[in-house]
Amino acid sequence: MAYAIIINNQIYKIASNEQEKNDLNVSENSVTIEISDSDFTKIKNNTGAISIVDNNITVTDDGSRGVIETAEILQNYIDNLKIVLKDFIDAGNSNKSILTQVNNYYNALVSFDTTSISYPLNITWEEYCAQNSIPYINTLQIP
């Protein structure tokens, strides 16, 4: 079972399991909701349309997700991801269960050549990673 952490009817964090949930820095104002593994994957891959009403969450397939038009756009996206991941790595989070995944994703991003794929990319970057065995996480998973 996976988890979504909600604050003010907005997704704050997600966790794929109990350990990751326990590692998250959640506020007292948050609500933890169990979600299915398939809903977790939709959120993680940025492919789900999320609706939250009164702390009840619905995740549906989102056919309107964006298209990555150029290598430059993807590189900017990856550069922003690297900043978030590196900040987590440098903060001394050796006690967090997700650290190995963060390190693996960061290293994959550092070495990824955005000109090596065809554009437009009609799937999300996260879907591309899943389909091409690139280790990845969503920034919502980072404590």
pLDDT of residue 53: 86
User: Minimal CA–CA distance to 84: which of 41, 23, 140, 130?
Assistant: 140
Q: Is 59 exposed, middle or buried (0-12, 13-18, 19+ CB in 10 A)?
A: buried
Residue where the block lists tokens 């990751």 = 20
Q: Among residues of the chain, what percentage have pLDDT more than 90?
A: 76
From CA 110, how far away is CA 113, in angstroms rounded?
9
pLDDT of residue 92: 87
- In whole angstroms, how large is the CA radius of gyration of the chain? 15
Least confident of 78-82, 90-94, 99-103: 90-94
**pTM for the full predicted model:** 0.90
Confidence of residue 28 (pLDDT cuts 50, 70, 90): confident
What stretches of the chain adopt beta strand conformation (E)? 2-7, 10-15, 31-35, 48-53, 56-61
Question: Tell me: the pLDDT tens digits for 46-63?
Answer: 998 888 888 788 888 876
Is pLDDT above 70 for 142?
A: yes
